[in-house]
Structures are given as C-alpha cells and as structure tokens.
Amino acid sequence: MTGVAALVSKVVENHHEDKDMLIQVLLDLQCGLGWLPQEALAEVSRQLRVPVTRVYQVASYYKAFSFAPKGRHNVTVCLGTACQVRGAPRLLDRTADLLKLAPGETSPDLRFSLNTVNCLGCCALGPVIVVDGKYHSNPSTTELQRVLGAAE
C-alpha cells in the first residue's frame, strides 16, 4: 500500500467509513497532503464506495480543495474593490515580480503559492497582502522583500 493509500485508509477509518463524511475526509486529506492527488481521490472513491465522479464533483466545488501541490508559504493579495482603489493591482504586480509567479501558481520548489481573493474583511487596511496568515497593510517593496525573504 502506498503512503497516500495508507493515509486515505487512516482518514476513512477515523470517519467510520461513513460516505456522508466525504467532505470531512477530503478536508483531512487536503490538510495531511497539502493537496488532493488523483491517487487519493481514487482511493477515497474505492474505500468509501462513492463513485469517483461524485468525489471529483465535491472536491471541485469547494475552493478549500486543491488538485495541485501548494507551496509551503501561502501568499494572498486582496483584489476586492476597496483594495483595488487603494492600489492592489500594483501590489499584486510587485508581489508577482518578486515571486516570479502569476496568481494561482506555485513555485517549482513548492516554496510559495500566490493567490488572490475578493475581500478579506479589513478594507480600511487596503491594499492588503496576507503571508502565511499574517496581514500586511500596503507594504513597501522593501517590506515585501523582507516578509517574503523571511519565509523559508
């Protein structure tokens, strides 16, 4: 049994092989693996006895799930209206340049993933960037380099 299949077995067992727990099983796997590889989805289908199309349908519906590996550091730039007005596009451009990534991409060394979001609920701080859960309000390029450089 591969490492992925063994993890799926453990997670499915933790949820008493209950097919109604499909979302929770997928969340646990996303948490454990950092993404949902095809092998994991096929194993979930087999072990929970749920059609693989249903597993994919659920996994693609929720933004929490990823079908590609994510970076160790999650970088999110808010592109909501308030942040847009306050310069979010420039902040995104500077961030993308520093990381050499486009939004939605992960670096080949899996160090960073760059994403955008439509509002983080702190519009007065805009433009806002979040690095590993820590909010930064309108950072200068130097500050941005420091924050990103510190993320090993």
CB of 118 to ligand FES, least distance (A): 7
CA nearest 8: which of 40, 53, 33? 40
| Contacting positions for ligand FES (CB under 6 A) | 78, 80-83, 119-123, 126, 128
In order of 23, 114, 115, the CA distances from 81 in angstroms are 32, 19, 16
Q: Which is nearer to ligand FES, 96 or 122 (CB)?
A: 122
Question: SS3 for 36?
Answer: coil
Determine contact, residues 99/147, Cβ cutoff 8 Å: no
Rounded Cα gap, residues 24 and 92, in angstroms:
33
Q: Which is nearer to ligand FES, 11 or 131 (CB)?
A: 131
CB of 98 to ligand FES, least distance (A): 20
Q: Which is nearer to ligand FES, 68 or 85 (CB)?
A: 85
- For the chain, what is the radius of gyration of the CA atoms? 18
* Nearest residue (beta carbon) to ligand FES: 80
